[in-house]
A and B are shown apart, each in its own frame.
Chain A
């Protein structure tokens, strides 16, 4: 069975993929669906959902369309999730690979450095970083990347260490290939599958982190995101439940979808570990 087939044979991952594609499509089409943007005050405030067909999810405290906010929020969540994950990989993978491959003092140095970041609670560090850098989309993405790379470095180091001990690597050494060539061409490609699985879960975590920051009012005030919507709705939660409910559902669905995909990838890439009965 090919990788793709194994992935698609998993009902959970299929569902996750479907949701994710839908979210991506909505995010791409946002300007077409709501050309006036998410901030336009279109109707009276606190319009209850399902009472007006043009505004199916109602309006918020200023009369802004909740659905438009959700759609534009999807763009922010996906963007922050993807970009910060790529950045975290760009830090974590090289550091972990060097540490695992060269060992000794390189390993010592790299791992102490990683531990330094690991000992500070993720979320607290992210808050501090955003507060120092002033909240903008860029600073939030950077902050999330900075707090999420250490597990990547750890994972890659362990993988590289185990792969490096294989016989084909010894063979490559005897063939006179350079260290860099062995690491990049022979070792790293064999560590890709756990990294992919981890990356898909990191996107989900990043979306949650961004939402939490925005919820606390540390989001970019010029950008409509799901966390912002919930944070702004917190003070009116007793009179307008829908303002926090729908963005909450959006976050749950997207994060769930990414987790299902991650699990599906894990099973597909490591068929020997796949749980039975799927």
Chain B
């Protein structure tokens, strides 16, 4: 079990620069080519927050904090911070001598402005800041946030993609969405935007005036757009690109590529997101509305097989709704090993009449299609009749958002805390037609809803853990969705690229510390 310390703590300013002092002599210079897949729709991180945007724009924009692989906060634009004993006040001291990429000084006014900017444009930020009473800037380098109520997960809300700090001098008083500076983003980060050749590459260059001396090390970053998975694998083999982010190539190619000489891989760098895959089981109608049926599905699936075969052994079979990498995880829950006999018993007990169920795979390529086929085969072996539906991305969004499915594959990020990334899929207030990112399965449990709410506002971490353990037990018993895998996307890179993955969001902000060995 992991605990998040919420007591008052101060981090010495030395840590901000301390990150660079390693045992090995680090070399400056060089050029790094990475894959970005698919091409991001934009790079203004305050307006667009999808995966590829975060990966590129995370080098341009920064937030107040960063998070290490254990999800502990680290200095970023804030060099030190303090949380009042009662959890009602957060005070941040900002770094000195920080400038925007266009030379303007960065001050606390930019932070205050960013909270206003993001209220309008960032749903997840809006959620976290609904617990905030006021944001004040007593001086140029201090930010004081006053809370309406103690909200434990708040300290996890200062990651670059969750709360990017945007420049006030560029956006104040303009129409944010149509501001032409969106095409040439200005941030405080270690790399500056140079050029974006649509359909080909995005070029970033070293920020010479970065506020941490000696960082970054690499001169130029090229994020290459290659639409076909097989071509991406070839580009890596020929050395044209040196870094393949998680998910850039089909899983079947991962093994072949990682066995090449001079190639390293790691599944680190996803701890903050902890992508959690499951099948929504429609709790409203059809056989999946019966709890016994849903439990039978859990017993019928050979999840270890899928992990080993479809995902090459990467990932972990989850015990329930909370990822083992997320805070407040508990494994004290009912277990569902692969047990076809048990599944058949449960089906007999409920009197399953052979009504076919539709299975909607995630249209993200071969891996997901094979996964659906494996699940279908598992279910048919215990006597459940399954028809695989087919849909493209738009069709998948439409079918899941309008509840037109029996079982549907999906995966969501957890953002370090059950209140941020898990609750949204299990509480009644999140049942809203039209969005595929909420309680799509239609699980209703008023008692648990109350506990979710209480746990989010509980200042004492031990009590939070207790409540989240109870919640996990109950939800795993009810099986509102069929949990499949804690996904690990291996990042594949040439071994001469050092220090690439150092934080809980990996490549999204890792290029600050990376360097290339000649």
Hey, which bits of chain A sit against chain B, CB under 8 A?
39-41, 45, 61-63, 134-135, 217, 220-222, 232, 234-236, 238-239
Known: A41-B305, A220-B390. 13 other contacts (CB 8 A): A39-B380, A61-B252, A61-B309, A61-B310, A61-B370, A62-B374, A222-B376, A222-B387, A232-B369, A232-B370, A235-B230, A235-B250, A236-B253
Task: Indicate if the CB atoms of A238 and B256 lie closer than 8 Å.
Answer: yes
Check A239 against B252 for contact (C-beta < 8 Å): yes
Given contacts A41-B305, A63-B309, contact A235 B252 (CB under 8 A): yes
By beta carbon, the residue of chain B nearest A224 is: B373
Smallest CB separation, B492 vs chain A (Å):
16
Binary flags per residue of B346-366, CB closer than 8 Å to A gives 1, else 0: 000000000000000100001
Determine which of A62, A134, A235, A236 lies in contact with B310 in the assembled complex, contact meaning CB atoms within 8 Å. Answer: A62
Contact, CB under 8 Å: B253 / A235: yes
Among A39, A62, A63, A135, point to the contact of B390 (Cβ < 8 A): A135
Give the one of B252, B253, B376 with max A CB within 10 A.
Answer: B252
Verify A41–B250 contact, CB threshold 8 A: no
Please state if A39 and B377 are interface contacts (CB–CB under 8 Å). Answer: yes
A221 touches B252 (CB 8 A): no
Find out whether the CB atom of A45 lies under 8 angstroms from the CB atom of B388.
no
- Expressed in whole angstroms, the Cα–Cα distance for A217 and B364 within the complex equals 12
7 tightest A-B CB contacts, nearest first = A221-B388, A236-B252, A235-B250, A39-B377, A221-B390, A235-B366, A45-B309
Does B370 lie within 8 Å of A40, measured CB to CB? Answer: no
A234 to B230, CA, bound (A): 9
Closest chain-B Cβ to A143's Cβ sits at a distance in Å of 14
* B145 contacts partner chain A, Cβ-Cβ < 8 Å: no
| A236–B369 alpha-carbon span in the complex (Å) | 14
**In the complex, are the beta carbons of B373 and A134 less than 8 A apart?**
no
Residues of chain B within 8 A (CB-CB) of A134 are 390
Across-interface contacts of B253 in A (CB, < 8 A): 235-236
Q: Please, which residues of chain A bring their CB within 8 A of the CB of B305? A: 41
B residues with a Cβ closer than 8 A to A are 229-230, 250, 252-253, 256, 305, 309-310, 361, 366, 369-370, 372-374, 376-377, 380, 387-390
With contacts A235-B253, A235-B366, A239-B252 taken as known, whether A41 is within 8 angstroms of B374 at the C-beta atoms is yes
Given the complex of chains A and B, what is the CA–CA distance between A238 and B373 in angstroms?
22
B309 touches A62 (CB 8 A): yes
Cα-based distance from A39 to B380 in the complex (angstroms): 10
With beta carbons under 8 angstroms apart, the residue of B256, B366, B388 that contacts A222 is B388
| Complex interface: chain A residues within 8 A of B366 (CB) | 232, 235
B390 partner residues in chain A, CB cutoff 8 A: 134-135, 220-221
Q: A78 to B380, alpha carbons, bound, how many Å?
A: 26
* A62-B374, A134-B390 as given contacts; A235 in contact with B309, CB under 8 Å: no
A236 and B257 alpha carbons, distance in the complex (Å): 12
Q: How far is the CA of A121 from the CA of B369 in the complex (A)?
A: 29
Contacting pair B369 A221 (CB below 8 A): yes
Chain A residue contacts of B309, Cβ below 8 A: 45, 61-63
In the bound complex, what is the Cα–Cα distance between A94 and B376 (angstroms)? Answer: 44
**B252-A40 in contact (CB<8A):** no
Tell me the bound Cα distance from A236 to B253 in angstroms: 7
**B387 → A minimal CB distance (Å):** 6
Could you say which residues of chain A place their CB within 8 Å of the CB of B252? Answer: 61, 235-236, 239
A-B contact pairs, 10 of them (CB 8 A): A61-B252, A62-B370, A62-B377, A220-B390, A221-B372, A221-B388, A234-B230, A235-B230, A239-B252, A239-B256
Report the separation of the CA atoms of residues A236 and B230 in the bound assembly, to the nearest whole angstrom. Answer: 9
> Which A residues lie within 8 Å of B369 (CB)?
217, 221, 232
Chain B residue contacts of A234, Cβ below 8 A:
230
* Residue from A40, A62, A63 whose CB has the most chain B CB atoms within 10 Å: A62
B305 smallest CB distance to A (angstroms): 7
* Distance to closest chain B CB from A210 (angstroms): 15
A116 to B368 CA separation, bound complex (whole angstroms): 39
Contacts of B377 in A (CB 8 A): 39-41, 62
A238 to B230, CA, bound (A): 10
- Chain B residue contacts of A63, Cβ below 8 A: 309
Closest to A220 in B: B390
Instruction: Given A221-B388, A222-B387, A235-B250, check contact A39 B256 (CB 8 Å).
Output: no
Residues of chain A with a CB closer than 8 A to B361's CB? 221
A232 to B, closest residue via Cβ = B366
Most buried by B among A220, A222, A234, A239: A222
Q: Kindly provide the distance from the CB of A4 to the nearest chain B CB, expressed in whole angstroms.
A: 45
CB distance from B406 to the nearest CB of A (A): 14
Q: State in angstroms the CA–CA spacing of A61 and B374 once bound together.
A: 11
**What residues on B are CB-neighbors of A135 within 8 Å?**
390
Contacts of A217 in B (CB 8 A): 369
Q: Which of chain B's residues have a CB closer than 8 A to the CB of A62? A: 309-310, 370, 373-374, 377
Contact A235 B229 (CB under 8 A): yes
Chain B residue contacts of A45, Cβ below 8 A: 309
Give the distance to chain B from A66, nearest Cβ to Cβ, in Å. 15
Select the residue from B305, B309, B388 with max chain A CB neighbours within 10 A. Answer: B309
Question: In the complex, A107 Cα to B83 Cα: how many Å?
Answer: 86
> With A and B bound together, what is the CA distance between A61 and B305 in angstroms?
12
Distance in Å: Cβ of B275 to nearest Cβ of chain A: 21
Chain B CB count within 10 A is highest, among A134, A222, A232, A235, for A235
A39 to B388, CA, bound (A): 13
Residues of A within 8 A of B370 (CB): 61-62, 232
Q: Which residues of A contact B387 (CB under 8 A)?
A: 222
Q: In the assembly, what is the distance between CA of A117 and CA of B361, in Å?
A: 34
- Alpha-carbon distance A93/B459, docked complex (angstroms): 79
Q: Which residues of B contact A236 (CB under 8 A)?
A: 250, 252-253
Inter-chain CA distance A41–B308, complex, in Å, is 14
Asked if B373 contacts A39 (CB within 8 A), the reply is yes
B234 to chain A: closest residue by CB:
A238
CB of B250 within 8 A of CB of A39, answer: no
Contacts of B373 in A (CB 8 A): 39, 62, 221
User: B374 contacts which chain A residues (CB < 8 A)?
Assistant: 41, 62
Minimum CB–CB distance from B223 to chain A (whole Å) comes to 23
CB distance from B15 to the nearest CB of A (A): 44
Q: In the complex, what residue of chain B is closest to A40 when comparing beta carbons? A: B377
Cα A234 to Cα B408 with chains together (Å): 25
Q: Which residues of A are found within 8 Å of B256, using beta-carbon distances?
A: 238-239
B376 touches A39 (CB 8 A): yes
- A43 CB, nearest partner CB in chain B, Å: 11
Contacts of A40 in B (CB 8 A): 377
Closest beta carbon of chain A to B79's beta carbon, Å: 47
Most buried by B among A45, A63, A221: A221
Write out the residue numbers on chain B whose beta carbons fall within 8 Å of the beta carbon of A238.
Answer: 256
Tell me the complex Cα distance, A220–B388, Å. 8
How long is the Cα–Cα vector from A20 to B289 in the complex, in angstroms?
48
CB distance from B314 to the nearest CB of A (A): 15
Q: How far is the CA of A239 from the CA of B380 in the complex (A)?
A: 30
State in angstroms the CA–CA spacing of A135 and B387 once bound together. Answer: 12
How distant is the Cα of A135 from the Cα of B388 in the complex, in angstroms? 11
CA distance A232 to B372 in the complex (A): 13
* A61 cross-chain contacts in B, Cβ below 8 A: 252, 309-310, 370
